């Protein structure tokens, strides 16, 4: 076969192409004008990778590549639309919309609509969203004839998570259960049976879930060579954004499509690979040069976001990782003569007070609340701070959209405490009753009516052994047992366990100890309930243990609940659409501070960033360190947190804390702090303002031996 190289008139290249060199830095220009071959672009934080990808697509089109021969895979459809809109502005081409741009799932759907018949589906298949898929799995559990009452079976949401993780990581379900859900190992066979029915029923009913779009796309490319050849030929150039976040299945699809031309350019930052817990495969980017030995390596190391002082800390910190593509971010911005501040605090209350005080100072200095963020490794680390912000009237949003005390598992456990303090709390009673297997709305209503109509509920409020009580011991427990004998509810073991738990909660040593009460709820069935109902049960359990630790400072359950009620009486919330004739008091209330976990902050930036609980045992998370190579992922998470800051960075941790056993524990700074030279920080020693003490009397000294 004779090869003919098509020559084009160079004078026909639009004049705007000459602007590329002036509009891009040297690193970006090399990426944009790279020759057609495999390329790995390691794009450091704040280095303008989106700009590089956009100009790369424009460059290809202006050099004669047809838009329909370009595949641009991104992690949101919005990102793809914005990139292609900018490409159209750069090139002036009216055909840019013909580029295959979007998420992996969108592109998979476009291809499967054409070829679904080849793998046993009709082209008009329906796509199940997450909620539809859960409902479908519930039906499959019923069809599997599993006795979910003989041994409590995981809910559809958990089964869905197991199946999805197995699909996206290319692992058997059995292996996923052993590694991620060991408490369900005895049920492996039944779970696999549900999956078999689920897969079969979907094909019979001509429906696919989100994972199926990728699975069937790969299946099409593997099983139908003639179709695979069409797309391997069509996609002359493939670009993948955020490649470090791809899973194994997505990387395999790209490799199949790139098999002929091998003009695949992947862009990402190995130092920001932080989503292994949801299936992202770090080896995709780290081993790319192994799969494509001919690949050219490009680095974007010029940072447009942060000050040199912040980048100095980030570079030194990430250097501790063994598996990485070494790089050193260089700041375009001039120094502000402000080193990252390391702020040890006496305890968690002082940590919250410092953060709130400094935020108010920054606002007075002209930094808006919208330009400030507080980050943490785990959501429960924000408990004390949320209450402190509420007391001071500082409006805030949580990046997840759900405030800590508004989460379902927190409200569940708090409901147990509410019925101890107020036995006539209807909402709390019905919430805890409906968590008992076999009890629905009707039964919960009947049980509550019996409890509420009895004057004997006082025994539950004061405790069966309260010396001031005239009620006989365990009267309310007896009342609930009468509910069983009356036939209002069946005498199931879970209901009997509920009665035992209530009896424990009101015992003399427990009834005014909210921390112990939370622990009892966890250990007497609720932890198992989390495992069976939520795919992220370990994170929710960690939240509740953190809540128990926080509750140690209260000597009364009533005081604890009253304090939490502060959050439900806030005058500020997320901005809402106007309803009726609402009066706007001004735009100032729309200005909100951001509270966020580091995972949810990826891709964002703020002028000032606070990283709280930067202590060993908190960041890195001990739960996350159980996996191989997990310390390196935790260090990457730390790196992501640091590089969100543009101007000012504050690292805080309490020197002392009380655990939920009421033991005082000395805290050390995170290993990610101590492994960096002390010269990279400015250490702030806090002084408590008091008219009774001379200045400096309450100064907190930093333990120098903790800092190298």
Residues acting as catalytic residues: 49-50, 241-242, 272, 644
Residue 537, token pair as written in the block: 């049960």
> Sheet harboring 296-300: ordered strands across?
100-103, 70-74, 237-240, 264-268, 39-43, 296-300
Strand-pair partners of 656: 666
Residue 216, token pair as written in the block: 């069937």
Burial of 12 (0-12, 13-18, 19+ CB in 10 A): exposed
Q: Which has the closest alpha carbon to 107: 270, 234, 293?
A: 234
**3-state DSSP call for residue 695?**
coil
Pairwise CA distance, residues 622 & 626, whole Å: 7
Pairwise CA distance, residues 114 & 217, whole Å: 11
Running DSSP on this structure, what letter comes out for residue 592? -
Sign of the C-alpha dihedral, residues 483, 486, 490, 496? Answer: positive
Residue 273, token pair as written in the block: 């690979």
Pairwise CA distance, residues 362 & 112, whole Å: 53
Residue with tokens 């019925």: 419
Q: Which pairs from 622-625 meet CB under 8 Å and 24+ separation?
A: 623/538, 623/542, 624/277
- Those residues with Cβ within 8 angstroms of residue 81's Cβ, 6 or more apart along the chain or in another chain: 101
Strands, E assignment, 255-410: 264-268, 296-300, 302-303, 330-331, 341-345, 372-376, 396-398
Pairwise CA distance, residues 312 & 339, whole Å: 9
Length of the chain, in residues: 708
Strand-pair partners of 303: 331
Report, in this order, helix, strand and coil percent for the chain, each rounded to 5: 55, 10, 35
């Amino acid at each position: 076969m004779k090869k003919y190289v098509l020559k084009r008139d160079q004078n026909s290249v639009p004049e705007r192409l000459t602007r590329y060199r002036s509009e891009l830095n040297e690193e970006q220009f090399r990426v944009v004008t790279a020759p057609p071959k495999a390329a790995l672009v390691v794009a450091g934080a704040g280095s303008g990778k989106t700009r590089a990808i956009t100009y790369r697509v424009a460059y290809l089109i202006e050099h004669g590549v047809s838009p329909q021969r370009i595949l641009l895979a991104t992690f949101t459809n919005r990102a793809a639309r914005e990139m292609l809109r900018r490409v159209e502005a750069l090139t002036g081409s009216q055909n840019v919309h013909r580029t295959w741009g979007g998420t992996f799932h969108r592109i998979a759907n476009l291809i499967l609509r054409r070829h679904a018949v080849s793998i046993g589906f009709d082209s008009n298949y329906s796509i199940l969203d997450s909620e539809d898929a859960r409902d479908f799995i519930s039906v499959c559990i019923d069809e599997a004839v599993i006795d979910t009452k003989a041994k409590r079976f995981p809910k559809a949401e958990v089964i869905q998570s197991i199946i999805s993780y197995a699909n996206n990581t290319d692992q058997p379900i059995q292996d996923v259960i052993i590694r991620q859900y060991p408490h369900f190992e005895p049920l492996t066979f039944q779970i696999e049976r549900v999956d078999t029915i689920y897969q079969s029923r979907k094909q019979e009913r001509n429906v696919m879930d989100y994972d199926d779009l990728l699975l069937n796309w790969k299946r099409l490319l593997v099983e139908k060579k003639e179709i695979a050849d069409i797309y391997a030929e069509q996609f002359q150039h493939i670009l993948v954004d955020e490649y470090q976040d791809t899973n194994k299945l997505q990387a395999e699809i790209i490799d199949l499509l790139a098999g002929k031309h091998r003009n695949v350019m992947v862009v990402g930052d190995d130092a920001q690979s932080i989503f292994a817990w949801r299936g992202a495969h770090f080896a995709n980017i780290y081993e790319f040069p192994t799969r494509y030995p001919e690949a050219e390596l490009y680095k974007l190391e010029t940072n447009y976001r942060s000050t040199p002082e912040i980048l100095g800390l980030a570079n030194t910190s990430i250097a501790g990782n063994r598996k990485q593509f070494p790089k050193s971010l260089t700041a375009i911005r001039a120094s502000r003569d402000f080193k990252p501040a390391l702020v040890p605090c006496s305890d968690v209350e002082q940590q919250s007070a410092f953060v709130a005080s400094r935020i108010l100072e920054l606002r007075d200095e002209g930094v808006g609340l919208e330009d400030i963020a507080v980050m943490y490794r785990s959501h429960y680390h924000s408990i004390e701070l949320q209450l402190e912000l509420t007391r001071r009237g500082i409006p805030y949003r949580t990046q997840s959209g759900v405030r800590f005390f508004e989460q379902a598992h927190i409200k569940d456990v708090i409901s147990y405490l509410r019925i101890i303090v107020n036995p006539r709390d209807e909402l709390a009673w019905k919430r805890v009753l409906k968590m008992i297997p076999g009890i629905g709305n009707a039964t919960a209503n009947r049980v509550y009516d019996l409890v509420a109509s009895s004057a004997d509920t006082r025994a539950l409020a004061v405790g069966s052994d309260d010396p001031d009580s005239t009620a006989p011991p365990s009267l309310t427990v007896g009342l609930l047992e009468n509910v069983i004998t009356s036939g209002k509810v069946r005498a199931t073991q879970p209901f009997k366990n509920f009665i035992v738990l209530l009896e424990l909660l009101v015992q003399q040593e427990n009834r005014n100890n909210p921390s112990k009460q939370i622990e009892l709820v966890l250990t007497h069935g609720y932890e198992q309930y989390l495992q069976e109902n939520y795919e992220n049960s370990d994170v929710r359990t960690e939240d509740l243990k953190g809540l128990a630790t926080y509750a140690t400072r209260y000597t009364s359950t009533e005081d604890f609940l009253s304090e939490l009620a502060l959050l439900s009486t806030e005058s500020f919330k997320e901005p809402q659409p106007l309803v009726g004739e609402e009066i706007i008091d001004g735009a100032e209330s729309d200005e909100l501070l951001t509270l966020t976990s580091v995972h949810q902050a990826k891709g964002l930036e703020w002028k000032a960033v606070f990283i709280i609980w930067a202590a060993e045992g908190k960041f890195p998370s001990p739960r996350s360190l159980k996996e191989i190579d997990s310390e390196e992922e935790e260090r990457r998470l730390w790196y992501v947190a640091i590089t969100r800051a543009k101007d000012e960075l504050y690292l805080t941790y309490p020197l002392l804390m009380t655990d939920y056993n009421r033991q005082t524990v000395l805290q050390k700074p995170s290993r990610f702090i101590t492994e960096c030279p002390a010269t990279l920080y400015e250490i702030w020693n806090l002084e408590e303002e008091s008219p009774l003490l001379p200045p400096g009397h309450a100064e907190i000294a930093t333990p120098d031996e903790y800092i190298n």
